[in-house]
């Protein structure tokens, strides 16, 4: 079974703070993704990575950056958190040779 | 531009009352269509992948079908534990990313 873990289930931060969200997979997958999910807007892709140190912008990368130093770990960074970044953040990974994305449990981030 | 539209937005069924959820899509070359189930406060859970028109997949009370323009998720004799949001997503041949619909929120009452 694919296992995707995210560092926190719930997180509360203040405006202007630097925020790190971490995603870890244990299956040696190359492709990893970060989405955010908001009511009425669905899931939207922020960034994805297809290998260590490789990244591509998704549909809504503004205000975010990512880091992939090791294959199993993909971090989403909010350089200066703002209230409009309050959301559910979901990480996903894809098995080699497959197309299906498997999701982690999500991190509910609140920025005050 | 790829587009995914799910209907209805919300559906309430009595236990045992079968129905279907719709996912209409436009994509420049379909690589795959995916169905997920999502419970409140949790990440989406993978259900099915469909690759070509005419393909069907089944799992317990769920059956997914695919045409060139839409997919249906048929729920036969649903139970309260089937209550969840069902998400549809498409992947184009040109890329890695999934383009999601906004989901159908299903409530099954005893």
d(CA A17, CA A87): 16
CATH of the domain at B55: 2.60.40.10
Looking only at the bridges linking them, the beta strands covering B45-50 and B99-100 are unpaired
pLDDT band at B97 (very low <50, low <70, confident <90, very high): confident
* pLDDT score recorded for residue B53: 94
**Under 8 Å between Cβ of A65 and A75:** no
Q: A75-106 pLDDT, tens per residue?
A: 999 999 999 999 999 999 987 777 889 999 99
Q: B21-52 pLDDT, tens per residue?
A: 999 999 989 999 999 999 999 999 999 999 99
**A102 touches B: beta carbon within 8 Å:** yes
Between A103 and A26, the more confident residue is A103
Contacts of B108 (CB under 8 A, 6+ apart): B12, B13, B14, B15, B78, B79, B80, B81, B82, B83
Contacts of A87 (CB under 8 A, 6+ apart): A36, A37, A38, A109
Fold of the A4-111 domain? Immunoglobulin-like (2.60.40)
Q: A49-78 pLDDT, tens per residue?
A: 988 989 999 999 999 999 999 999 999 999
> Using the beta-carbon criterion (under 8 Å), do B103 and A42 form an inter-chain contact?
yes
From chain A residues 13-72, the ones with a CB under 8 A of any chain B CB are 31, 33, 40-45, 48, 50, 56, 58-59
> Using the beta-carbon criterion (under 8 Å), do A102 and B46 form an inter-chain contact?
yes
> Using the beta-carbon criterion (under 8 Å), do A106 and B87 form an inter-chain contact?
no
Its domain, for residue B22, covers 3-109
Q: Best mutation site among A29, A37, A100 for testing chain B: the one with the most B CBs within 10 Å?
A: A100
d(CA B30, CA B93): 6
* DSSP letters for A11-28: EEE-TT--EEEEEEESS-
Q: B51-86 pLDDT, tens per residue?
A: 999 999 999 999 999 999 999 999 999 999 999 999
**B86 touches A: beta carbon within 8 Å:** no
Structural domains in chain B (count) = 1
Mean per-residue pLDDT over chain A, rounded:
93
Cis peptide before B8 (omega within 30 of 0): yes
């Amino acid at each position: 079974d694919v296992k995707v873990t995210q560092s926190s289930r719930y997180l509360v931060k203040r405006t202007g703070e630097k925020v790190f969200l971490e995603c870890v997979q244990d299956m040696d997958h190359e492709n990893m993704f970060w989405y955010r999910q908001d009511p009425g807007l669905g899931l939207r892709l922020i960034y994805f990575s297809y290998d260590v140190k490789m990244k591509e912008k998704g549909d809504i990368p503004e205000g975010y950056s990512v880091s992939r130093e090791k294959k199993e770990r993909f971090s989403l960074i909010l350089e200066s958190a703002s209230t409009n970044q309050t959301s559910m953040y979901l990480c996903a990974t894809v098995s080699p040779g497959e197309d299906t994305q498997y999701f982690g449990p999500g991190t509910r981030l609140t920025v005050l | 531009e790829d587009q995914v539209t799910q209907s209805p937005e919300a559906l309430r069924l009595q236990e045992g009352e079968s129905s279907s959820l719709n996912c209409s899509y436009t994509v420049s070359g379909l690589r795959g269509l995916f169905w997920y189930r999502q419970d409140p406060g949790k990440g989406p859970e993978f259900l099915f992948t469909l690759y070509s028109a005419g393909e069907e997949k089944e799992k317990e009370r769920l059956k997914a079908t695919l045409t060139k323009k839409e997919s249906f998720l048929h729920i036969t004799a649903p139970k309260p534990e089937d209550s969840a949001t069902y998400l549809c997503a498409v992947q184009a041949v040109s890329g890695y990313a999934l383009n999601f619909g906004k989901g159908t929120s299903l409530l099954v009452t005893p």
